[in-house]
Amino acid sequence: MRTNVILFWVLTGFFALATAVYAFWSSIDGASRIANSFSAGPEWAGTIALALTSILSAFIAFYLGRVHKEQGGELPEDRLDANIDDGDAELGFFSPWSWWPIVLAGGAALAFLGLAVGFWITFIAVPLALIGLVGWVFEYYRGNFAR
């Protein structure tokens, strides 16, 4: 995580420098075209967008730095002698033969299609998505694989 913190602080500096260069460059360009523009000065939309990008990356770097400091220990990603298996955590159990995620994805796709094309499709999609969700959640509570 220390690497991520350093990376975001580097991005903060880069975007701050890019903001200064962009503001300076656009103000020089605006001054040379003063006859065609209303006022000389930087182009504000790009300058503000770059400044906010710099601020956002500083927020992320600060947050990750605080989390890393409060966490205490070193993560496997920060150690040079760590193996790949050191950072491999248990993510959960996923059934490789289950068809319920496909049913749920079809219901969600129909729901978004209903929002885009016609609301009446949503009345078909919601029950299909609910059936897919309930089937996926309770897959191991009935049939051959009941516990």
Mark whether 50 and 118 lie in a shared domain: no
Task: Pick the closest to residue 122 from 136, 108, 134, 105 (CA basis).
Answer: 108
Q: Does residue 94 fall inside a structural domain?
A: no
Is 28 domain-assigned? yes
Q: What predicted TM-score, i.e. pTM, was given to this entire model?
A: 0.54
Which residue, 64, 87, 110, sits at the end of a domain? 87
Q: Residue 133 domain-assigned?
A: yes
* 63 backbone dihedrals φ, ψ, rounded to 5°: -65, -50
Q: Are residues 75 and 117 in the same domain?
A: no
Q: What is the pLDDT of residues 99-115, one digit of tens each?
A: 999 999 999 999 999 99
pLDDT of residue 90: 73
> Do 106 and 65 share a structural domain?
no
Q: Which domain holds residue 110?
A: 100-145
Residue 95 lies in a domain: no
What does the pLDDT read at residue 13?
97
Asked if residue 12 and residue 52 are part of one domain, the reply reads yes
In a domain, 59, yes or no: yes
Asked if residue 93 belongs to a domain, the reply is no
pLDDT of residue 51: 97
Give the model confidence (pLDDT) of 37-63 as tens digits.
555 678 889 999 999 999 999 999 999
pLDDT of residue 108: 95
- Tens digits of pLDDT across the chain (147 residues): 788 899 999 999 999 999 999 999 988 876 555 555 555 678 889 999 999 999 999 999 999 999 988 887 777 777 888 887 777 777 777 777 889 999 999 999 999 999 999 999 999 999 999 999 999 888 888 777 666
Q: Are residues 6 and 72 in the same domain?
A: yes
Q: How far apart are CA 6 and CA 12, in angstroms?
A: 10
* Cα separation, 58 vs 75, whole angstroms: 22
